[in-house]
Structure 1
Amino acid sequence: MIHHDRSRSGLAGPTSLPVQVAIGLAILTAMAAWLGWMGRPLTCTCGTLALWDGDPYSPGASQQFADWYSALHVMFGMGLAVFIGRMAPHWPLSWMVLATLASSAIWEAMENTPVIIALFGNAPGTPSYEGDSILNAFGDTLFVAVGFLLARGLPAPLALITALALEGAVAFAINDGFILGSLRLLGVSV
């Protein structure tokens, strides 16, 4: 059983591991249900099931468990670690992880709306984007959680170097990433 000092945080909430696991599973289930309701496929409609698809132009792009964009989700998790740590410094780590899962699930729900799919899919110089499979959304959420835990465990300078290395790797491998993608969304040809 996980206990924490509520008097320090002034918060009441889940204290047992089973309750926290149930909340985490409920977040993931709600995300999957939303994506299913939005018409997202469970797995790649290309007929292949794989853990990795490194080709952003393949039919399995954003459909398999992991791809180059998984590194960006690790970076997103690292950013959430900083944000949540500053906004709720007295929260127990388990609550921060649940907030990270919820943040990722909300992003996956938004990312797979027709408006965002069109925005990402029509940016000049980017591969065609048709949305994620539910499998890919689960992978993305796992990578966000990994990024969160990585940032919590690393000294800040090393976490920053890791994030920059991930951004550089994605930019080098597939000519995309947070920086290049943001510039393209702003209409800059890169």
Structure 2
Amino acid sequence: MGATRNRSRRSLLPGSNGWLLAVLIALAVGAAELLMGRAPICRCGTVKPWWGVVHSSQNSQHIADWYSFSHVIHGLLFYAAAHLLWRRWKLLGGNPSARALPIAVAFEGFWELLENSPVIINRYRAVTISWGYAGDSVVNSLADIGFMALGFILAARLPVRASIALAIGFELFTLVMIRDNLTLNVLMLVSPVEAIRHWQAGA
């Protein structure tokens, strides 16, 4: 019974065709961002594996940063949503495992495109601690999609409790380190709280 349950959880990971489709969707997002005029890499001219200074012009310009943890959580949440929809997809026929990750990549890619639109960039500047936020480089956006896929894979491999613990741990870790996390990011973007904004700014 336990082995059957584990195989069922892992079955949401795609085969080679699903992975190929996910990669093609991610590349299409990158191409769309280039057409939007986004910089392919940091305007500083380098690509670093990690950038840890939130309040700087190079934040969200390199491969990984403090917000990469949030994108891993995206993957955990997307996997949970796909798993909850498993029975519905099964009733519709076809192979849900072939579609789950590509759909997750499409959703993440849509957010990356929206996040790098003038509307959201200006919103971030107006109501969050990201006053100088100028959007992501294309490299950073593709890396964000990759971190989401990592979270999706982890959710497929880990027990549910471990996935929940990982998400909570990442949220608490980034809250301590930079006074920000996925929860606060969404809250401040949708319904800003001035007291939180002052606290995040160290006021």
Specify the TM-score bucket, using the shorter chain as the normaliser.
Answer: 0.7 to 0.9
Q: Note if 1:40 corresponds to 2:38.
A: yes
Structure 1's 154 and 20: CA in aligned 2 closer, same or farther, altered over 3 A? closer
Residue type matched to 1:83 in 2? A
Q: Which moves more between the two structures, 180-189 or 135-144?
A: 180-189
Q: Please give the residue correspondences for 1:1-190 in structure 2 after superposition, counting only pairs within 5 Å.
A: 17=16, 19-89=17-87, 90=90, 91-185=95-189, 186-188=191-193, 189-190=195-196
8 A Cα contact 1:171 1:177, kept in partner: yes
Q: 1 or 2 for the larger relative contact order (CA 8 Å, sep ≥6)?
A: 2
CA drift of 1:94 comes to 3.8
Aligned residues: 175
Cα root mean square deviation, aligned: 1.9
TM-score where L is the length of structure 1: 0.84
Distance 1:106 1:87 in 2: 20
Distance 1:136 1:110 in 2: 14
Structure 2: gaps (5+ residues): 1-13, 197-203
Match of 1:5 in 2: none
Residue type matched to 2:144 in 1? D
> What do the CA deviations read for 1:151-187 (whole angstroms, capped 9, x no partner)?
1211112111110110111111111112222343322
CA drift of 1:47 comes to 2.2
More helix by share: 2
Structure 1: gaps (5+ residues): 1-14
Distance 2:28 2:166 in 1: 31
Percentage identity across paired residues of the two chains: 31
Distance 2:183 2:140 in 1: 22
Distance 1:127 1:153 in 2: 38
Distance 1:133 1:45 in 2: 9
Distance 1:179 1:172 in 2: 13
CA drift of 1:41 comes to 0.5
8 A Cα contact 1:46 1:59, kept in partner: no
